[in-house]
Amino acid sequence: MTEQHTIGAGPAPEAPPAPPVPESVPDAQPASEAGAAVGDPAPATAPKDRRKLFAVLRWTAAVLVFGAAGSGVAYGIAQPERTDVPGLSTAADGRWTYPELAKPTLPPGAALPFAADNEDGIHYAGLTQLLLPAPLGSTPDAALKVEKDSVVAVDTFLEEYETSGRAKMKQAFADDGLRQIVGRGWTTPDGIRTRVYLLRFHASGFTDAFDGCGPDMNLNGVNRIETDAVWGRARIDQSFPDATGVSVHEEAVPVGDEKLRVGCVQSGDVQAVILQTRKGDLPTVPLHQTVILQHQLLR
C-alpha cells in the first residue's frame, strides 16, 4: 500500500480574524470532485479508445471524505489505492503520488469557505496551510525564492511575467487588495518543474479583478496561451463535478525549448496560479491532477 503522510495544520500566517462564534458550525458536505488527474486524449482516429479513457478519467477522481469536529472544522482528503477504484488497476498513467492531504483546522467559530454564513468564500485558515504539498519523490525548486512560511515577495512572483507588464501588475496589486502570496515549487524525476502560487486578497471581488491567470496572461518567454482542449473535452464528455473558478491552459505552438501548461483556480478571496514546464513534450496528466487537488484544498 502506498505510504502516505498527513499534512499538519501548522501556524496560520496573516489569517483574518475569526467572526463571532455562530450557534452551530455547518456540517461539511461530502464532495465528489477529482483528486486524481484527467488523462491525455487518445488519437482522433480511435474514438472507442478515447471513450474508454474518459470512462477511466471519471473514476480517477479521488474520493474526498470530510469530517467536522468541535467548534473548528478539520477535513481529511482520502486518496484510495489504485486497485480500490474501478479503472485504476491499469498501467501507470503519469499521475504523481502525493502525501495524504488534510485541510487545516479552522479557528474556533470560523465559518467554512462558501458556507451559508460565508458566501464570499473567505478562507480563515493560514494561507500556507492551503498550499498543495509537493508530491513524493520530488525535489524542491531551488530557483523559487521563498521566505519564512513559504511567503513569496511580490517582485519574485512577478518574475514569472514579461518585464514590460510587471510595473502595472504591481500597482494593480496595491490598488486591488492583495494581502499575501505564498508559493511552493518542485521538480519531479520525469523532469517537470512545477510552481504553485496562492494569492490572498481582501475579498473575492478583488480576486475577480485579477487578470494574471488565463489565456491573456503575459508570461515570461511565452508567445501565446490558449485553452487546454483536453481538459474541456473531459469535463463535457464525463460531466465532471463542479469545478467553478477552474481553468486550464497551455502554451500555443510554436513553443521554445520548454513547453508550458497553466492552471488557474479562483476560490473566494484566494487565487491559485499553477505553472508547469518541461523541455520537449509535457503531458497533461500532472497538471490536471495538481489543479484538482489544489482546488479541493481551497473549497
pLDDT tens-digit map of 112-142:
999 999 989 999 999 999 999 999 999 999 9
The total of other beta-carbon atoms located within 10 Å of residue 177's CB is: 17
In 78-231, DSSP assigns E strands to 101-103, 139-140, 178-187, 193-201, 225-227
Is 38 contained in some domain?
A: no
Is 33 contained in some domain?
A: no
Is 30 contained in some domain?
A: no
- Phi, psi dihedral angles at 113 (to 5 degrees): -60, 130
Q: Does residue 185 contact residue 196 with C-beta atoms inside 8 Å?
A: yes
* Alpha helices, DSSP H, located in the chain: 47-59, 154-158, 163-175, 204-209, 229-238, 285-297
Is 286 contained in some domain?
A: yes
Is 24 contained in some domain?
A: no
- Phi, psi dihedral angles at 135 (to 5 degrees): -70, 160
In this prediction, the residues of the chain whose per-residue pLDDT falls under 70 are: 1-92, 234-242
Domain span at 132:
47-297
**pTM of the predicted structure, to 2 decimals:** 0.72
pLDDT of the residue at 166: 97
Query: How far is it, in rounded angstroms, from Cα 136 to Cα 119?
Result: 35
- Phi, psi dihedral angles at 156 (to 5 degrees): -65, -45
Sequence-distant (6+) residues with CB within 8 A of 230 are 38, 40, 41, 284, 288
pLDDT of the residue at 94: 82
Domain tally for the chain? 1
The total of other beta-carbon atoms located within 10 Å of residue 236's CB is: 10
